[in-house]
Amino acid sequence: MLSGNWRPGGYRTYRDAMYRYDVVDKTLVTERVAQFRDQTRRFLAGELTEEEFRHLRLRNGLYIQRHAPMLRVAIPYGLLSSAQLRALGSIARRYDRGYGHFTTRQNIQYNWPKLEQVPDILAELAEVEMHSIQTSGNCIRNTTSDHLAGVTPDELEDPRPWCELIRQWSTFHPEFTYLPRKFKIAVTGAAQDRAASQVHDVGVHIVRGPSGDLGFEILAGGGLGRTPIIGQVVREFLPREHLLSYLEAILRVYNLEGRRDNIHKARIKILVKSIGIEEFRRRVEAEWLNTRDSGLRVDDAEIARLRGFFVPPAYRRLTDSEPAAGKSTAFRAWYRYNTTAHKVPGYRAVYISLKKPDVAPGDITDTQMELVADLADRFSFGEVRVTHTQNLLFADVEQDKTFELWQTLEKAGLATPNIGTLTDMISCPGLDFCSLANAGSIDVAKLINERFDDYDYLYDLGELEVKMSGCMNACGHHHVGHIGILGVDKSGQEWYQITIGGAAGADASLGEVIGPSVAKTDVPETIARLLDVYVERRRPDERFLDVVRRLGVKPFKEKVYAAPAAA
């Protein structure tokens, strides 16, 4: 049903450049819906205890949250067809309260579904080749990737066929469905790391090997949460045919030796840290020697088959133009911040900002989803991508059509020209929705937006990543924000700890705490003071991050804690 997409509006998808289910995928997803329907029935009939059902529902993306269940749906490596996005919008309207929330790991979350209706939602998702399999629980999660895969000029090779290979291998893996803790894999193929792969349990980087062949650099042991750690290299170069056997060896070592006695010490990063990367590598390689030539060897035909799903669309032969020339300031700002380079002349990749000042970061309404789906058909070959920074992306827009696209997005509140700036914040849902959170994040985002509403100032500050988590589980990746904000509970009150100097890209680093946490209303003033130091001390072309790295935390700390916040 994804093909032959004639819409009433008359637009047609002229490519399906994404993975399409065959009989195997279809059968498995349908059988999973039936299995989960039966598990839900047994729970509601009292045949399964809360605890027993918890382990089962979590492996299908279903949390029981503060107000209602929360259902997390996978968007494998961030790729959506317009038909899938329409289905997500329709589900938001009929089963939820008319919106969804995109996460930092290329998932969408529904915050208000009814438990007894979840099997029906899953059945509808299966109709458009989607699922919530392994989007939570102690198993291998959704494989994430670069949202600019296939279109970015700095790419060695398109990572998506490999992502799909990993998606299939990890789905219902019989040995690794009851791991010590969750396990997240990210794959990138470009010089820039747009998937935060260094803070994943395993990061897979496509690299060129000594003989010129493409293969993989494998990192392990990265992660955020209570103990943030940057991943370390397990293998500098892995020949491509061994990708799955090597991942399987890493997972087997982790499954057998990762700690299970303490949830806070159960991630693979703790195992790697405690035995050291050399010993970890030795164990993985020893295991891999036994299995590398097993049935997991990736054959060329299979990877060729998967590559066939990600062929470039039918680009028109165009030359680069300057669509912003002579246009309004508003369009020029949007074009500069919300579009980015494309490897094909005449095309741009276009961000759809989900960071409107009065909307929770990553939230989108049902009608916006449907509008974006229609625009994707008109402007970007019927495809939409979800970014790690909780925005959407049209990967293939003709430069000369960006003005027309902008006009429509602008009317729908989807053209906030702030990509890569302070207000393009990453945030978890926080205390308002999540039962784990210590503090709100949505209202803090709102306070920050109110304080920093001057675009000239935002643009002058340049590239700035603000990331906010409502608790130390770090779903908002605060450790790797240039400015990180962590909600903490201080005798029943919501306070915020501020870190600076973190980064998630190829130069990943962890932020440093500047001092005692601050009250909610003081968060904007604290950020303003940090930025004052930056503006005073920066050299030409230095980003906030660069100044923090050059000067250290001290001058920032002095300024922030010099006198009581004015706010």
Partner 1 sequence: MPRRLLRDGLIVDDDWSYLAEAEGNPAAPLILTLAEWQSDRDRWLAQDRRLGVVLSPAHRVELLAHDIKRFALIGADFSGPAEGRGYSQARLLREHWKFTGELRARGYVRRDQLFFMARCGFNSFELPDADIEAAHAALATFSWAYQPSNDAGLPLKLRRRWRDTPATA
Name the residues that contact partner 1, by CB under 8 A: 22-24, 27-28, 31-32, 35, 39, 47, 51-52, 55-56, 138, 168-169, 171-180, 252, 255-256, 260, 290-291, 294-296, 299, 301-302, 304-305
Residue 379: count of CB within 10 angstroms of its CB: 20
Q: Are 564 and 534 in contact (CB under 8 A)?
A: no
How far, in whole angstroms, is CA 412 from its chain's centroid? 23
- Of the pair 22, 454, the CB lying nearest partner 1 is at 22
Q: What sign results for the dihedral spanned by CA atoms 207, 148, 358, 465?
A: positive
Q: How far is the CB of 397 from partner 1 (least distance, A)?
A: 33
Compare residues 85 and 272 and give the one whose CB is closer to partner 1.
272
Taking the complex as a whole, the smallest distance from the CB of residue 158 to partner 1 amounts, in Å, to: 19
Rg (alpha carbons) of the chain, rounded to whole number: 23
Comparing CB distances to partner 1, the nearer of 288 and 351 is: 288
**39 vs 526, which CB is nearer to partner 1?**
39
* Residue with smaller CB distance to partner 1, 33 or 372: 33
Other Cβ atoms within 10 Å of 562 Cβ, number: 9
**Minimal distance, residue 256 CB to partner 1, in Å:** 5
Q: Angle, nearest 10°, between helix axes 82-95 and 366-379? A: 170
Give the shortest CB-76-to-partner 1 separation in angstroms. Answer: 13
> In the complex, what is the shortest distance from the CB of residue 24 to partner 1, in angstroms, rounded to a whole number?
5
In angstroms, give the least distance from the CB of 456 to partner 1.
52
How many residues belong to the chain?
Answer: 567
Shortest distance, CB of residue 453 to partner 1, whole angstroms? 47
Secondary structure in 3-state letters for 491-543: CCEEEEEEEECCECCCCCECCEECCCCEEHHHHHHHHHHHHHHHHHHCCCCCC
Residue 109, strand partner residues? 72, 101
71-94 burial string, b = 16+ CB within 10 Å, else e? bbbbbbbbbbbbbbbbbbbebbbe
Let me know: does 324 contact 405? Beta carbons within 8 Å. no
In terms of CB distance, is 54 or 327 closer to partner 1?
54
Q: Which is nearer to partner 1, 19 or 110 (CB)?
A: 19
